[in-house]
């Protein structure tokens, strides 16, 4: 497959996630970055383009201008990667989808449910595709876990535990901390820990189970004085298949860096996985000793092998998982593949519904919120 032409909005000088997306997009040779609106500041946008080797003629100061100009070019971009703060995801995605350009968007889909509903309406009539990069679904051992659940290796699923713990916001951040500044601004983020990392835990649980959440009860807390968004979230969840679950997302859990874990317990066995050691999946059958399944090893499943690049014992991780989603998106855009493990528009909407329900539940004293009418 010839590389597709990629544009990017956001991700200019000093940005973290933009660099991650660029590395992921080129890892498998599926995309070439040829255009961008890398900053809302024109000087910074053009300086970033020059550093990234993007021609000055395809460096834009405004994403709306970029969408129209690229759609009009015979060599215009096939997809755009959106790596801005959350509140801009919706307007940018709408602008490109309206021009029938596919969108690869960092999570969450939008900052508010109203923005998500508006974006959904545009996506449904666009010839472009919408993808959301919940990158942890790209890990081979997560693909294996999903396959094992679907094939019944665990029996009927009873309990799901998904936690994402960090400590980097345990105190008020410095004024020049760009990453913290927009994440702790409710107008830009739409939520604190629940939106930033809670959505990852929710998505991971739903992805592995192959089920949606049907109801939840949440308690959101702001532990740092003066903080306007939550920094700790505790959520009880009911899933469509009858399983009960719990999600804990915290950015004030001292001693944790990016401690995302998933445990699934069924009537016949269980699975345990940790993002900080992602090449291992623990499988325990009832009455048997735990079995360590390794990425690329003899017990790896077909689903895991399909997204494994190098032999067992050589670590694969964060960037490769991201790259898997870009490779699968490229296959769909090129009409050479199905959606695969990538997250499409409905799953993306579910993530925003999850955040909205958690906020309403917490405001109502941890009341149970029924998600089924909405999804």
pLDDT tens for 231-282 read 999 999 999 999 999 999 999 999 999 999 999 999 999 999 999 999 999 9
Q: What is the pLDDT of residues 16-45, one digit of tens each?
A: 999 999 999 999 999 999 999 999 999 999
Residue 248 CA to residue 64 CA, distance in Å, equals: 38
Given the structure tokens 């998933």, which residue do they identify? Answer: 262
What is the residue-averaged pLDDT of the chain? 95
**String of b and e for 234-256 (b: at least 16 CB within 10 Å)?**
bbbbbbeeebebbbbbbbbbeeb
Residue ranges of the chain assigned to CATH 3.40.50.720: 4-128
Q: What is the pLDDT of residues 177-209, one digit of tens each?
A: 989 999 999 999 999 999 999 999 999 999 999
| Confidence at residue 342, expressed as pLDDT on a 0 to 100 scale | 62
pLDDT category of residue 335 using cuts at 50, 70 and 90: confident
The CB density around residue 342, as the number of other CB atoms within 10 Å, is 25
pLDDT category of residue 373 using cuts at 50, 70 and 90: low
pTM of the model: 0.95
Given the structure tokens 């508010």, which residue do they identify? Answer: 112
Q: What is the pLDDT of residues 98-152, one digit of tens each?
A: 999 999 999 999 999 999 999 999 999 999 999 999 999 999 999 999 999 999 9
139-312+346-351: which CATH number, 1.10.3720.10, 1.20.120.1770, 3.30.360.10, 3.30.420.10?
Answer: 3.30.360.10
Supply the angle between the helices 199-209 and 140-150 in degrees, to the nearest 10. 50
Residue ranges of the chain assigned to CATH 3.30.360.10: 139-312+346-351
Which CATH topology does 4-128 take?
A: Rossmann fold (3.40.50)
């Amino acid at each position: 497959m010839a590389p597709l032409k990629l544009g990017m909005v956001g991700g200019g000088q000093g940005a973290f996630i933009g660099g991650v997306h660029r590395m992921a997009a080129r890892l498998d040779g599926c995309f070439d970055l040829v255009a961008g609106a890398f900053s809302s500041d024109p000087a910074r946008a053009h300086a970033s383009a020059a550093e990234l080797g993007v021609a000055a003629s395809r460096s834009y100061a405004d994403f709306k201008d970029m969408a129209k100009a690229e759609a009009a070019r015979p060599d215009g971009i096939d997809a755009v990667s959106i790596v801005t703060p959350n509140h801009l995801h919706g307007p940018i995605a709408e602008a490109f989808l309206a021009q029938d350009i596919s969108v690869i968007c960092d999570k969450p889909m939008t900052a508010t449910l109203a923005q998500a509903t508006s974006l959904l309406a545009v996506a449904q009539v666009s010839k472009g595709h919408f993808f959301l990069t919940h990158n942890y679904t790209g890990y081979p051992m997560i693909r294996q876990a999903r396959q094992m659940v679907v094939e019944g290796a665990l029996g009927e699923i009873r309990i799901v535990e998904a936690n994402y713990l960090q400590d980097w916001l345990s105190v008020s951040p410095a004024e020049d901390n760009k990453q913290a500044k927009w994440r702790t601004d409710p107008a830009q983020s739409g939520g604190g820990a629940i939106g930033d990392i809670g959505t990852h835990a929710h998505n991971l649980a739903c992805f592995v189970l192959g089920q949606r959440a049907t109801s939840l009860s949440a308690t959101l807390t702001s532990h740092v004085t003066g903080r306007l968004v939550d920094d700790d979230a505790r959520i009880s969840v009911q899933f469509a298949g009858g399983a009960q679950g719990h999600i804990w997302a915290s950015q004030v859990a001292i001693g944790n860096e990016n401690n995302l874990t998933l445990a699934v317990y069924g009537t016949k066995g269980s699975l345990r996985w940790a993002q900080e050691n992602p090449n291992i999946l623990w499988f325990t059958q009832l009455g048997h000793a735990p079995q360590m399944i390794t990425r690329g090893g003899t017990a790896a499943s077909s689903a895991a092998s399909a997204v494994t690049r190098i032999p067992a014992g050589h670590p694969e991780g964060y960037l490769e998982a991201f790259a898997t989603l870009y490779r699968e998106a490229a296959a769909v855009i090129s009409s050479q593949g199905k959606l695969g493990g990538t997250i499409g528009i409905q799953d993306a909407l579910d993530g925003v519904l999850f955040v909205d329900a958690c906020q309403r539940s917490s405001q109502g004293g941890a009341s149970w919120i029924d998600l089924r009418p909405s999804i």
